Structure 1
């Protein structure tokens, strides 16, 4: 009797969990899996003549993409941009995140709000703000010229430099949030104990604080890298059409050339790239956790 009752209770519990999971699974399927399946199917079609879409099941789009030197060039540029922005954003955000994670100030809530406040503004608006600040007659060049640092305006827009500067600022709130969430293992007591044993501040940071905060750093780095290599608005506007990344190439293929199969194939390959770096992140995370 007890066995039957336990079995019935187990089935009820599983049914309840399934019922709770069902809405989320349906939402994921409708909003992500269905469009992804459509994208994969579109990548197997062919474009013939003047942007004429031909229904087919052909890998030609993938062959064209993988054998195109320009695609490999922009893929390499995208990876370089992702790594550079990730390193800079993490380096700038790390002290802020560590301070916010450890401070006991009554203003902590306000400081947290200020750190993530840029997320309340569209990346388009922030990019236009950077265009204004970094233009030849913008605030930055005006200040440098007024101080006598430069005799002529620095070229900070319509190039890779402007893209990197804008993306680092745009990605900082994401890095801060991710790192704060991963700094739970960083204990001030361990630093105090090391200090009482004669370890200096630098040694405490290198041997205790930073190693314990690595999971949060890796999480923040993954988020920034993924968002950077998929960024479109900032490279398009700050680059002035001179900075090419995978996202801008997808846009051009879909709207200018009207080669939807090629654009879909590029999107699938970008998604594959996400998967590769997610696997690398998981292995690094396990390595850090098992240290």
Structure 2
């Protein structure tokens, strides 16, 4: 008995001309060019300008701004403070958010949606308002200092603000919802059947966590750490307010050079330096993901 071979179903993409696909991509590419690439090109050009006025148009090209950034120890300290702040915030935010995200992924409660909404509800409030809230809590006459003095646990004021500690604590709380969301989307590889199989083979809860849960959740953890780190080193409002002008990071220095001293070329050079830090961290993130996949 002979069989008739049926033609394979044509792929939907094969029926769409390439010109139509390019036309569909054109609006998005145009918006990306206008809103991202064009300002980035202007920023790079402004960093080589000889003065603020020449940053808007023609003028001589100079590396004076980059010389000021690379050969001034102050800006190296600023870059180090920025990296240190980003790493501290990323580590503590991920560590504190991991149990919450893991619970939300594994829970079978009917209130799972409500609990997830509560976990990310702080995003509905402005980071400026939340920063002022931390100023009230950690201030010299704030809740913590008042409680310590009332209980006679300290004689003087514990300096919790106007330093990097206050900025770090505030950023951790502000960026935790981002870490939770990133880990919720990155915990898709977790499989309860693998955990049950390990338990049947005699593995205790600690071994199940270290051998199965943690390795499978590492991609989500790395994504959350990258997101929090990038948001932390690019932050301006929280270090400015919680630092009291005593915490110098790249975000605050870009603002000062652009609005106070009106040195736009130097502000552009510092912005390029911040972009270099972004790119370096993203490269490290990609290598870490490749190492996990091997």
Under a length normalisation based on structure 1, what TM-score does the superposition of the two structures give?
0.92
RMSD: 1.7
**Counterparts in 2 of 1:11 and 1:63: CA distance versus 1, 3 Å:** farther
Aligned equivalent of 1:74, options 78, 99, 118: 78
Q: For residues 153 and 26 of structure 2, what CA distance do their matches in structure 1 show?
A: 62
> Where do 4+ consecutive residues of structure 1 move more than 4 Å?
51-54
Q: For residues 236 and 84 of structure 1, what CA distance do their matches in structure 2 show?
A: 17
Which residue number in structure 2 is paired with residue 3 of structure 1? Answer: none
Which residue number in structure 1 is paired with residue 202 of structure 2? Answer: 198
Q: 1:45 touches 1:53 (CA, 8 Å); kept in 2?
A: yes
Q: For residues 42 and 81 of structure 1, what CA distance do their matches in structure 2 show?
A: 27
**Counterparts in 2 of 1:156 and 1:32: CA distance versus 1, 3 Å:** same
Does residue 155 (structure 1) correspond to residue 159 (structure 2)? The answer is yes
Which residue number in structure 2 is paired with residue 244 of structure 1? Answer: 248
**Counterparts in 2 of 1:278 and 1:110: CA distance versus 1, 3 Å:** same
Which residue number in structure 1 is paired with residue 170 of structure 2? Answer: 166
Q: For residues 140 and 184 of structure 1, what CA distance do their matches in structure 2 show?
A: 40
CA drift at 1:20: 2.5
Q: For residues 183 and 34 of structure 1, what CA distance do their matches in structure 2 show?
A: 36
Secondary structure of the structure 2 residue equivalent to 1:158 = coil
Aligned equivalent of 2:283, options 279, 282, 285: 279
Which residue number in structure 1 is paired with residue 4 of structure 2? Answer: none
Q: 1:215 touches 1:289 (CA, 8 Å); kept in 2?
A: no
Does residue 256 (structure 1) correspond to residue 260 (structure 2)? The answer is yes
The number of residue pairs the alignment matches comes to 280
Q: Which runs of 5+ in 2 are unaligned?
A: 1-9
Which residue number in structure 1 is paired with residue 17 of structure 2? Answer: 13
Larger mean Cα displacement after TM superposition, 257-266 or 134-143: 134-143
Secondary structure of the structure 1 residue equivalent to 2:17 = helix
Q: Deviations over 1:206-264 (max 9, x none)?
A: 11100100000000000011111111100000000000001111111111111110110
Aligned equivalent of 2:26, options 3, 22, 44: 22
Q: For residues 265 and 29 of structure 1, what CA distance do their matches in structure 2 show?
A: 21
Aligned equivalent of 2:47, options 23, 43, 56: 43
